[in-house]
Amino acid sequence: MKKVLITGTAGFIGFHLAKLLLDEGFKVHGYDGMTDYYDVSLKQERNKILLENSNFTSTVGMLEDNEKLDDVANKFQPDVIVHLAAQAGVRYSLENPRTYINSNIVGTFNVMEVARKQKVKHLLMASTSSVYGANSKMPFTEIEKADTQLTIYAATKKANESLAHSYSHLWKIPTTMFRFFTVYGPWGRPDMALFKFTKAILEEKPIDVFNHGKHTRDFTYIDDIVGGVLKTLDQPASINFDWNGNQPDPATSNAPWRIYNIGNSKPVQLMDYINALEKSLGKKAKINFLPLQPGDVADTYADVNNLQKKFNYKPSTTIVDGVSNFIEWYKSYYKV
């Protein structure tokens, strides 16, 4: 039985990945800070569900606490580490940038130190589509440079990619980075659009729609996200022996380090997303159209050809089904 240490198991993606791995027979230890960035009771409920499986154990701890993280890893001795914990939120990074440095830079450094000391077989880490920043050529592909991040959050994630590469190069740690595209679904984060829109529509309050609703987003259902991670788990990143420093491929390296987009690869107009939500709820939204917010990008669109070729990755959940599944969960959880 493989032992997998996952950071952020009380979070949205971490919870779903831990649940999937437990169903697949893995032994999982979760490490989560249970911070109050959003409703802690939601995080506690996720953790409670995971603890129903005897192959799951967990520790409450901050990524910045390197001694506790070291102690957990020494006792659990993971074969694989999946690092998902981070201070999330693009807009929150405008208000509290230091939180992102502490969690996403210092915390990630601590995780990579653990991976080095434990000599793990594979380190997998969450990045984000936000690293594409000011890039406008669609779809976003990993082989294009991404050096113009527009928020502190995105900058910390790009820094993580670079830091991970240096560790992979120096200590030959197989490292796979995932650029996630707009994840949604049951047990989602309350600070994300689908959650906020649903709550407001049910309460007959207006929803704030930025860029006057002209966004397109590569909305990706949570099962398609964690399914992609699972496909790569047992296949550690490898060296690209054709890599050429004169014409460097930003997605691969002469170290065992890789970057993959994980997205639906079918961008949706934000207003179509809202229409799907309205149909599922059976209620019309009251919309407050607003300008583009600082740090926001107008469009996202994932090229997932690399993941498809290497791992036969095929996202399959439609927006209609995904939104409907979320609404079903939301009404059940909040007893609407």
Burial class, 296, CB count within 10 angstroms (exposed 0-12 / middle 13-18 / buried 19+): middle
Token duo for residue 267: 């961008």
For the ranges 22-26, 69-73, 150-154, the lowest mean pLDDT is seen at: 150-154
What 3-state class would DSSP assign to 228? helix
Is the predicted pLDDT of residue 117 greater than 70, yes or no? yes
Burial class, 136, CB count within 10 angstroms (exposed 0-12 / middle 13-18 / buried 19+): exposed
Is the predicted pLDDT of residue 334 greater than 80, yes or no? yes
Residue range 285-303: mean pLDDT, rounded = 91
Is the predicted pLDDT of residue 293 greater than 90, yes or no? no
Up-side HSE of residue 61: CA atoms within 13 Å toward CB?
Answer: 21
Q: What is the predicted pLDDT for the residue at 12?
A: 98
Confidence label for 295 from pLDDT (cuts 50, 70 and 90) = confident
> Using an 8 Å Cβ cutoff, are 175 and 164 in contact?
yes
Q: Summarize pLDDT for 10-39 with one digit per residue, the tens.
A: 999 999 999 999 999 999 999 999 999 999
Is the predicted pLDDT of residue 88 greater than 90, yes or no? no
**Which amino acid, one-letter code, is at 218?**
D
Is the predicted pLDDT of residue 93 greater than 90, yes or no? no
Residues annotated catalytic, as ranges: 153
Place of tokens 């959050």: 153
For the ranges 48-62, 150-164, 190-204, 284-298, the lowest mean pLDDT is seen at: 284-298
Confidence label for 1 from pLDDT (cuts 50, 70 and 90) = low
Query: Which of the pair, 112 or 298, is modelled with greater confidence?
Result: 112
Dihedral through CA 197, CA 134, CA 14, CA 110, nearest 10?
-140
Instruction: State how beta strands 216-217 and 268-269 pair.
Output: antiparallel
Q: What is the predicted pLDDT for the residue at 112?
A: 98
Return the CATH number of 3-183+220-264+301-315, one of 2.130.10.10, 3.40.50.720, 1.10.3720.10, 3.40.640.10: 3.40.50.720
Token duo for residue 327: 């609404």
Cis peptide before 267 (omega within 30 of 0): no
Confidence label for 89 from pLDDT (cuts 50, 70 and 90) = confident
Residue range 258-269: mean pLDDT, rounded = 96
Residue range 280-302: mean pLDDT, rounded = 92
Q: Where are the domains of the chain?
A: 3-183+220-264+301-315
Distance separating alpha carbons of residues 132 and 146, to the nearest angstrom: 5
Residue in 292, 313, 333 with CA at minimum distance from that of residue 181: 313
Q: What is the predicted pLDDT for the residue at 298?
A: 86
- The percentage of the chain sitting over the pLDDT mark of 70, rounded to a whole number, equals 100
- Determine phi and psi for 4, rounding to 5 degrees: -120, 125
Sign, CA dihedral 31-33-38-43, equals: positive
Sign, CA dihedral 241-245-251-255, equals: positive
Distance separating alpha carbons of residues 46 and 41, to the nearest angstrom: 9
Confidence label for 45 from pLDDT (cuts 50, 70 and 90) = very high
Q: Got the DSSP string for 132-160?
A: GTT--SSSB-TTS------SHHHHHHHHH
Chain mean pLDDT for the chain: 96
Residue in 125, 128, 171 with CA at minimum distance from that of residue 146: 128
Q: What is the predicted pLDDT for the residue at 296?
A: 85
Sign, CA dihedral 251-219-217-267, equals: positive
Q: What is the predicted pLDDT for the residue at 94?
A: 82
Is the predicted pLDDT of residue 90 greater than 80, yes or no? no
